[in-house]
Amino acid sequence: MAENLVKLNATAVIVAAVGIFIQFVVGVPGYPDVPPGPIILGGVGIAVFALGARWRWVIIVGLIVPLFITVGGILEGSSWGRLGRPGDVGPFLGTAIQWTGLVVAVVAGVLAIGQAFRSRAAS
């Protein structure tokens, strides 16, 4: 089960990266010329997919990075305005995809870490 949670975490991290990339492409204000979010999240997602089953510490990175972006997004606050305007399809869709990915990544990350370290303690 822990392996499935690791895969879910990695997939959700990549989904969040796609959401941020969509926002960049449709021209949501405030993004730099090369937004670091999709690059960082994409790299973390790939690392968790490739290494999460073998190196448990990678699963922790798969939780910390989306958690950091989630907290930053809550504090920064501009996402809520985009989510409140579904008629503005591009920004709304990108933000919805980003937040869905982040929430699933955090939940799956917590559960994966619990499973991975619980199974290690039992063995």
Query: pLDDT per residue over 59-118, tens digit each?
Result: 999 999 999 999 999 999 999 999 999 999 999 999 999 999 999 999 999 999 998 877
- Burial string for 43-75 (b: 16+ CB within 10 Å, else e) reads ebbebbbebbeeebebbbbbbebbeebbeebee
- Give this prediction's pTM: 0.91
pLDDT of residue 121: 62
Residue scoring higher pLDDT (116 or 24): 24
Q: Where are the domains of the chain?
A: 2-122
Cβ pair 63, 9 in contact under 8 A: yes
In a 3-state reduction of DSSP, which class is residue 22?
A: helix
Q: Which of 37, 5, 24 is nearest to 90 (CA)?
A: 24
What span, in angstroms and rounded, lies between the C-alpha atoms of 25 and 113? Answer: 34
All residues at 6 or more sequence positions from 5 whose CB lies less than 8 Å from its CB, including other chains? 108, 111, 112, 115
Query: pLDDT per residue over 37-48, tens digit each?
Result: 999 999 999 999
